[in-house]
Amino acid sequence: MKRIIQMTVNGEPVELAIEPNRTLLQVLREDLELTGTKHGCGLGDCGACTVILDGAPVNSCLVLAVQANGREVLTIEGLEENGDLHPIQKAFVEKGAIQCGFCTSGMILSAKALLDHNPRPSEIDIRTAISGNLCRCTGYQKIVEAIQAASETMAGSGGDAR
């Protein structure tokens, strides 16, 4: 039987009637059409479905949508502000941190969760924070460089931690 849930997605309140066995990933992609969050494995191994739930990065394939009831979800679609890319998105573009792009959304959200809590991370902090996000294209180097660059930009601009 369907259950009614209420959550905040990218700053907007949403109310949905959903089957209790559906994952947050399915509901984001299928019901809310937020397809920027990717399905890579469905097992919590690859991190492509990472979203930020109440400030913490989670594999949305391992979270039931009903568990998100009353909570705040941030997806890749919620990062831009007034049409401007978020500094992490900008850094990913400029530093060549994106190849196929399938890990990118999750990677950026893991980076954001890190920088929100630790605005000046070391390289090992960054590598640890994204170690649950698999990337087969880049060898991670340019991703790490992008997150470093974003942390500098964000710290320089007063550490905007939206």
Partner 1 sequence: MTEFRVLNSRAPRVDAAGKATGRAKYADDLTMPGMLYGAILQSPIAHGKILNIDTSKAKKLRGVKAVVTAKEAGLVKYGVSPARYDETLFAHDKVRYVGDEIAAVAAVDLETAQEAVQLIKVDFEELPAVFDMFEAMKEGAPQLHDEYPNNITAEVHQEFGDTEAAFAECDFVMDHTFLNKRQDAAFIEPHACIAVFDLDGKLTLHTATQVPHYVMRTVAMVLGIPVGNVRVVKPYVGGGFGPKAEATPLEMGAALLSRQTLKPVKMVYSREQVFLHSRARHQFYAEMSLGMKNDGTMVALKNKAVLDGGAYTSFGIATVYYSGSLLGGPYKLKAMKYDGYRIYTNKPACGAQRGHGGVAHRAAFEQLLDKTAVKLGMDPIELRLKNIMTTGDVTINELDMSSLGMKECIEAVRNGSDWNNKKGKLPKGKGIGMACGFFVSGAGYPIYRSDTYHSTVVIKMSEDGGIVNVLTGSAEIGQGSDTVVAMIAAETLGVPLECVRVTSGDTDLSMDLGAYSSRQTLMTGHATKEAAEQVKKQIVDVLAHEMNCHPSSIEFRNGKVLFDGGPGDFRHIRTNYVKEHRGWTDPPTDDYLTFKEAARIAYLKLGTLVGTGKYKPPRLGGAYKGAAVGTSPAYGCSAQVVEVTVDMETGQVTVDDMTDAHDCGLAINRTSVEGQMQGSLSMGLGETLFEEVKFDSRGRILNPNLGEYRIPTALDMPNVNCIIVESNEPNGPYGAKEVGEGAIMPTIPAILNAIYDATGVRINELPVTSERLFMALKKKEGV
Q: How far is the CB of 16 from partner 1 (least distance, A)?
A: 17
Minimum separation from the CB atom of position 28 to partner 1 (A): 11
Cβ proximity to partner 1: between 137 and 155 the closer is 137
Q: How far does the chain reach from its first CA to its final CA, in angstroms? A: 36
Q: Which amino acid is at 130?
A: I
Nearer to partner 1, 70 or 101 (CB): 101
Cα atoms found within 13 Å of the Cα of residue 52, Cβ hemisphere only = 24
Closest to partner 1 by CB, 6 or 148: 148
Q: Which is nearer to partner 1, 28 or 63 (CB)?
A: 28
Burial of 17 (0-12, 13-18, 19+ CB in 10 A): exposed
Site residues (vs partner 1, CB under 8 A) = 29, 34-46, 48, 75-77, 79-80, 85, 89-90, 92-96, 98-105, 108, 126-128, 130-144
- In angstroms, the CA 103 to CA 83 distance is 22
Which is it for the CA torsion 53, 56, 60, 63, positive or negative? negative
* Cβ distance to partner 1 smaller for residue 7 or 48: 48
Supply the minimum distance, in Å, between the C-beta of residue 72 and partner 1: 18
Question: What is the closest distance, in whole angstroms, from the C-beta atom of residue 141 to partner 1 in the complex?
Answer: 5
| Helix%, strand%, coil% for the chain, nearest 5 | 40, 20, 45
Q: Measured from the CB of residue 108, what is the shortest distance to partner 1 in angstroms?
A: 7
As a whole number of Å, the CA-based R_g of the chain is: 15
